[in-house]
Amino acid sequence: LLDQCMSMGKDNLSLEDIKQMAGVYDDDIFFNLLFAIKNQDIQSIISLVDEINNAGKDLYHFLQSYIEFLRNILIFLSTGELDDTLYTDEDNDSLKKIKSGFKAEELIYYIKEISNSETTIKWSDSNKVLIEVLFIRIAMRYSKFNENYNEKLESLERRFETFEQKLNNPEIHNI
């Protein structure tokens, strides 16, 4: 890796240069994909996968790196602690948005869905399409799951309130 960096012929190497040589993905693409999935922004999901693919990156390797990213964010949400070596000060705004806008269950769902599709994608000749479909499916399903969950919770709350009112009604106790 050091030889590759030296062969670039630059006097000063940036972190971006080293990441590119090592095949490491920029965190911005991970954050952007996470927010695109959360917001069901299908056009952004497709554009981000295209961007990765057009840069000549291995999509399967990207998927593995994305799972690791989601794992780190899950630990951050669960413990409030973050490995300072993984993220820069530039990532603070994105991390604040994640902390206020995501639940651990949501990230667990994302990790599980991606992990379940990993092997199929690895051996597929059309892994770009499968990854696009995977991320779109995650965006749509989690949203529907969340809506159904909220509807059921609200329904249970209403039923519980009705039950409490009936219990507190003195006419019922006299019967």
Beta carbons of 7 and 70 less than 8 angstroms apart: no
Which residues, in sequence order, are CB contacts of 41 under 8 Å at separation 6+?
A: 35, 139
CA distances from 46 to 50, 133, 158, 161, 174 (A): 6, 9, 40, 45, 65
pLDDT (tens digit per residue) in 59-101: 899 999 999 999 988 988 888 777 665 666 666 677 778 888 8
b/e 8-25 (16+ beta carbons within 10 angstroms → b): eeeeeeeeeeeebbeeeb
The whole-number average pLDDT for the span 48-55 is 92
Q: Could you tell me the maximum CA-CA distance found in the chain, to the nearest angstrom? A: 92
Angle (nearest 5°) at CA 99 between 37 and 33: 20
Band of the pLDDT at 10, cuts 50, 70, 90?
Answer: low
Helix axes 27-38, 92-101, angle to 10 degrees: 30
- Please tell me the pTM assigned to this model: 0.70
Summarised one tens digit per residue, pLDDT across range 97-114 is 888 888 888 899 999 999
